[in-house]
Amino acid sequence: MVLIDTHSVVKKYGDLLAVAGISFSVETGECFGFLGPNGAGKTTIMKLMCCTSPITQGEICIGGKNVTREPRSIKATIGVVPQEENLDPDLTVLENLLVYSRYFDIPKALAMERSLESLKLFQLTDKKDDFIRTLSGGMKRRLLVARALLNQPKILMLDEPTTGLDPQARHLVWHTSRHLKTSGTTIILSTNNMEEAAFLCDRLVIMYQGSILAEGHPQELVTRYVGQRIVELRPSPEKKQGLLQQLKSMSMSAEDAGDTLYLFGEDGERIKGYPDLEEHNPVQRPANLEDVFLKLTGRGLTE
Amino acid sequence: MSRSRTLALARRIVLQFRRDRRTLGLLFVVPIVILSLLAYLIKLEAGKVSVGVVNKDGGVVVGSSGVLSLANGLVEEMKSGKAFSVTELKEEEADSWLKSGKGKAVIIFPEDFTQEFRQDGSSNIGVIMEGSEPQAGAAVLRNLGQILQALVVQLPALRGGMVQMPKVEPFKLEISYIYGGEEYDVLDYFAPALIAIFALFLVFLLTVVSFIRERTQGTIERLVASPLTRPEIVLGYMLGFSVFAFLQSLVILLFSVYALRIHYAGNLFIVFVVVLIITIGAVNLGIFLSAFARNELQAVQFFPLVILPQVFLSGVFWPIKNMPIFLQWIAYLLPLTYANSALREVMLKGRGLLESSVALNILALLLFASVFVVLGAFTLRREIA
C-alpha cells in the first residue's frame, strides 16, 4: 500500500532550486532512503514531507492527506530525528521527553510511562536526571530517536541519523531502526553514508543537485549500474593520461576520480588479459553504492 | 614571543570585524547619534514655565500720585522676565486651569497684598502647585523667589516712607498642591518612568536573547515539526516569557511602594494593568527583533538603539513639549512615551482608568502591543517557511 505519494515536487529558496521536480512513492512498512552528497536536497525533501516547509510546486500526500492542506494531522503521525541535535539544553533527559510528549497532547501519565520505557530501550535510564550538556554525542542522538518515537509515529524520519557517531552508537541506531521496521513503522532515511543506505534501505533514490538520478533496491542498483565487481587503477600522475588513452583504444571506459581510475562491470574482468596494466596497481573489490554514485555523477558521495 | 604570530591574531580580529558591517556601524554610529541627541537635549532651553496669576491686590493710595500696587509691579516683572509665561486668571478658574495641564502653578496676590505690606512689612502670596512635576514646581518657586528678592532690594526707593522696613521674611508663600504635595520628591516623579523603563527593557532583553537561543538551538524547528499550530506557538512563547515579565513588574512595583516608600496617588491595579500591556508589547518586540540577529551579540547591539532614544525622548527627563518639533514627532512614535505618561497620570495625579488622559495612553500602548504581536507572529511564520 502506498503511504507517501509525491508528484513533481519543486522547492525553491529564493533563486536557489533545492528540489527540482521529483516524484517517488513509499510503501507502508518499508525503509526508503535518500542517498546523496551534502546539498543534494535530501534534508529539504524531508522537511517538505514533515510539513515544516511549504512546497513551491507539486504535491505530497501522506496516508491520503495532502501536506499543504492537513499538516497537523500528518505531523501527529510522524516522528522526526533532525540532522542537528535540538534537545533542550536546560532540561534534564527525562524532562526533554515529557515536555515533547505534551506537544502531542499525550496525557501526563502516559507520557511518563512512554518516556521511561523508551529511555530503557535506548539505554539511557541511568541518565534520566542528567542535563543534556553532560551527554555524549551518541547519547544525544539516541535521545533524539527516543523523543521522535514518543508519539508512536507511523513514519519515522531520520535525517542523517548517524553522522558524527562512533561505530557503536551508529549500530545502536541502525539496530533500533530495523527493529522498528519489523514492528511496522515506515522509515524515511536520508544519508550520505552508502554503508548505512545499503544496510537499512529496502529501496532508495540517489539524489544529486535536487534531482533523482536512480531508484531501486541498493544491491539491484549496484548490479544495474556498475556490475558486481570493480577494478581500481592507481597510475602514477605522469602516466595517467597515457593509461586513459590506452584504455580508450581498448574501448574500455574508465571513470576518472583524481588519483584513481575505476573500471566497472565487464571492463574490470577484461583487463586481466593485459598483464602490462599490472604496473598501475589494479585492485579488484566488490562494487558498492558509492561506485553507482560516481558512475552517475562523476563525483564522490562524501565531498 | 613572536611578533608575526601576535600580529596574525590581531589581523584576524580586525578582518572579522570588518566583515561584520553591522557591528562596525553600531560601534561608530550609535555613539554619534546618542551624543548629538544628548547635546541637543541638554542645550534645550528649559523654556518658560507656564504659570497663572490671580491679581486681586487693591494697592494703597499714595499721596497725589495715585494707587500703588506691589502686585502689579511683580506681575509686570514676571511677564517681562525669561522665567515665566504668564496667564492672568480669575481666582475661580485657577483649579480647572491647572488640572487641564495648561500650567504648573497659579500665583495669587490677595486684595490686601500691598496694604498688609505697608502695615506689617510682610505679606502673603498664595501659590497653587500643579504638583505632578517636582522640578517644574521647584523652578516656579526659585524664579518667583528671585523676583521677590529683587523687589525687596528696590523697596527703599519705592517706599517714600510709605512702608515699614521689611521684616526678615517680607513675603510668605502659602503653598497648596493640586496633585501630590510637599512630601513628593524627585524619586516620586521618576518612579513611574522607572517602572515603565524596567518593564519595557528588561523584558525586551530577556525575550530577545532567549529567543535567539530558541532559534539557534533549533527548538523552533522542533516545535514546527510537532502538531502545534502557529497561533499556539506564538501564544505559548508569549505566555512563557510573560510569566517572568509579570512577576518582575509585580516585584518592581511592590518594592517601590513598600520598600522605597514612593508616594503615589492612583490605584495600583491600574498601574499593574499598564505595566502588563507594556510587557506584552516588549515580549513581542523582542520576538520580532530577534529575527534580525544571528547571535546573542547582535541582539545585544539592539539595546542602545532601542533603549537610549526612548529614555531620552519619551519625556522621562525632558518634557516633550520643550523639544523641537521633529524630536516631538519621534517621541510620539515611542511606546515609552505613552507608558511614562500613563503611569505618571495614574501615580502622580491619581487619574482613573476611564479618564481620557489615561485611557488614550493605554489605547496607544495596546496599539503598540498589537503591532508587535503581529510582527512577532510574522517573523515566526517566516521561520517556518
Tell how far CA B91 is from the center of its chain.
30
How many other CB atoms are found less than 10 A from the CB of residue A278? Answer: 10
pLDDT in tens, A111-154: 999 999 999 988 899 999 999 989 988 889 889 999 999 999 99
Q: pLDDT value at position B384?
A: 56
pTM above 0.80, yes or no: no
Q: Nearest 5°: phi and psi at B113?
A: -55, -55
Q: pLDDT value at position A17?
A: 92
- Please tell me the distance from the alpha carbon of residue B337 to that of residue B344, in angstroms, as a whole number: 11
Work out the percent of chain A whose per-residue pLDDT is above 70: 98
Q: Looking at the predicted structure, is the pLDDT value of residue A186 above 90?
A: yes
Is the Cβ pair B225, A89 closer than 8 Å?
no
The residue with cell 510539513 is A51
Residue A83 touches partner B, C-beta closer than 8 Å: no
Q: pLDDT value at position B156?
A: 60
Q: pLDDT value at position A97?
A: 94
**Cα nearest neighbour of B230 on chain A:** A72
Is the Cβ pair A103, B385 closer than 8 Å?
no
Q: Looking at the predicted structure, is the pLDDT value of residue A303 above 60?
A: no
**Averaged pLDDT for residues A86-109:** 91
Report the residue of A47, A73, A75, A90 to disrupt the B interface, i.e. the one with the largest count of B CBs within 10 Å.
A75
Q: pLDDT value at position A29?
A: 92
Residue A14 touches partner B, C-beta closer than 8 Å: no
Q: Looking at the predicted structure, is the pLDDT value of residue A272 above 80?
A: no
Task: Please give the DSSP secondary-structure letter assigned to residue B125.
Answer: E
| Least confident residue range of A147-151, A170-174, A231-235, B158-162 | B158-162
* Cβ(B123)–Cβ(B133) below 8 Å: no
Residues of A in contact with B230 (CB under 8 A): none
Q: pLDDT value at position A300?
A: 63
- One-character DSSP codes across A4-42: EEEEEEEEEETTEEEEEEE--EEETT-EEEEE--TTSSH
Mean pLDDT of chain A: 88
Q: pLDDT value at position A214?
A: 92
Q: pLDDT value at position B371?
A: 93
- Give chain B's residues under pLDDT 50: 385
Q: pLDDT value at position B368?
A: 92
- Please tell me the distance from the alpha carbon of residue B256 to that of residue B277, in angstroms, as a whole number: 19
Band (A189; pLDDT cuts 50, 70, 90): very high
Residues of A in contact with B219 (CB under 8 A): 86, 88
Q: Which of A70-84, A224-238, B301-315 has the highest mean pLDDT?
A: A70-84
User: SS3 string of B177-235?
Assistant: ECCCCCCCCHHHHHHHHHHHHHHHHHHHHHHHHHHHHHHHCCHHHHHHCCCCCHHHHHH
pLDDT in tens, B76-98: 888 888 888 888 888 888 888 88
**Averaged pLDDT for residues A84-104:** 91
Interior angle at CA B173, CA B180 and CA B151, nearest 5: 135
